[in-house]
Amino acid sequence: MGIKLLKQQFRVDVVIARGASKINLANNVGLTTIQHIVLEDSLSLKSSLKFIEDTKADMIELRPTYYGLKYFKNFKEIRNVPYILSGFIDNEELIYKAKECGVYGITTSLKRLWSIGL
């Protein structure tokens, strides 16, 4: 009910969430969904690789960028959707590495990096 309210009353277009149930509910009412994954340790990596098999997310956000880049191929093999990297993107080199990997987009709070396109 809450997700339908967000879409109809508040005209929300995109939902970013960690859990598969929220992602799938939002997806079922026609919202674009981004699954937010935080790679904290080897256990979170293993569970995240399993999670993405069970969701219908339109995109996946991996953070922090260092581990997102390191394990990007592992994720891409399981779900071939657009990926976003975020967290600690503080130099141009990381953006170029993301581009080489085929990442869809990045997020950074550093305005000086905003003009560098993927």
Q: Mind listing the pLDDT tens digit for each residue in 72-90?
A: 999 999 999 999 999 999 9
pTM (predicted TM-score): 0.91
Pairing of strands 105-107, 32-38: unpaired
Q: How much of the chain, in percent, has pLDDT values that exceed 90? A: 85
Question: What are phi and psi for residue 48, nearest 5 degrees?
Answer: -65, -40
Query: What pLDDT does 77 receive?
Result: 96
Q: Is it the case that residue 118 has pLDDT exceeding 90?
A: no
Mean pLDDT of 14-40: 94
User: Whose CA is closest to 78, among 45, 33, 100?
Assistant: 45
Q: For residue 84, what are the CA distances in angstroms to 9, 13, 22, 53, 104?
A: 28, 17, 19, 17, 6
In whole numbers, what is the pLDDT of the chain averaged over residues?
A: 94
Gap between the Cα atoms of 3 and 68, Å rounded: 29
